[in-house]
Homo-oligomer: A and B are copies of this chain.
Amino acid sequence: MENIVVTGIRGLPLIRAGDNIPAMICERVKVENGDILSLASTVYSKAKGFTKSLADITPSKRALHLAELNKEDPRFVQAVIDASKDIIMEYPFILSELPFGHIGVRAGVDQSNIDDGMVIFLPPDPMHAAAQLREEIRQLTGKKIGVIITDTCGRSFRRGQTGHAIGWSGFTAIRDFRGDVDLFGHELKITEEAVVDEIAGFANFVMGESNNGVPAVLFRNCQPWTGHDDLYFSKTEDITRKLLKEHCPS
């Protein structure tokens, strides 16, 4: 088996609305069949114009209330509300479910790495975003790759953010071991591995945060896997979500 090679794609300029990200990436790196490209959602959203000026936002009564509670700009809070399908926790920070299933702090709305007074939203349909990027790269290069769109999220129990997948194309989110046996022939108890999050996390490590300017990472020689795409728990399965929703102050 060959080593996996992970390349941070350097030299990309600051991304602006209308930029052709697949073309910019393919100018800087030669993709091969089976490669996996991981792209920061912020960069995708900037290129597609999923941004808004705070000056264009009028906060609702609820936004004013939550802004007061969390000591945040009411217009920013309104952007968070607008991006949310459901607010699971209002305080000490807003935790939202997005329409596509992801649960994230402040609905993933971001104020860093963008001009003053602007906010960046997560792509509203990141599965479509990943599929489209994949197809555009296929058209540019003739190569079939996989794509992961990442967001940076906190976790329960452990401090620090890590990269998570919010959109993917070319493979399944979960590697499914159901029916497999271990080295001793026992049927496995742990049967589902969230491989897209494991790849997204390492991509985030390579990207760094802050001013490193590496929003895209290419993985070569990853072994393919099979599984399914049910990455998000349903409401009834999700113990944490249920408890937060029922018991958190509002």
Interface size class of A (residues with CB under 8 A): 35 or more
A:203-226 near B, CB below 8 Å: 204-206, 208-211, 213, 222-223
Copies in the complex: 2
A160-B194, A231-B160 given as contacts; is B210 within 8 A of A177 (CB)? yes
Binary B-proximity of A173-202 (CB < 8 A = 1, otherwise 0): 111010011111010111011110111011
Which residue of chain B lies nearest to A214 when distances are taken between CB atoms in the complex? B1
A112-B186, A177-B209 given as contacts; is B198 within 8 A of A233 (CB)? no
Contact between A193 and B204, CB atoms less than 8 A apart: yes
Partner of A248, one of B182, B201, B223, B239: B239
Contact between A157 and B232, CB atoms less than 8 A apart: yes
22 contacting pairs across A/B (C-beta < 8 A): A1-B8, A14-B183, A111-B189, A112-B184, A156-B156, A156-B241, A157-B238, A158-B232, A159-B233, A160-B175, A160-B193, A161-B192, A180-B210, A182-B210, A188-B210, A190-B209, A198-B201, A198-B202, A199-B202, A240-B240, A243-B243, A243-B248
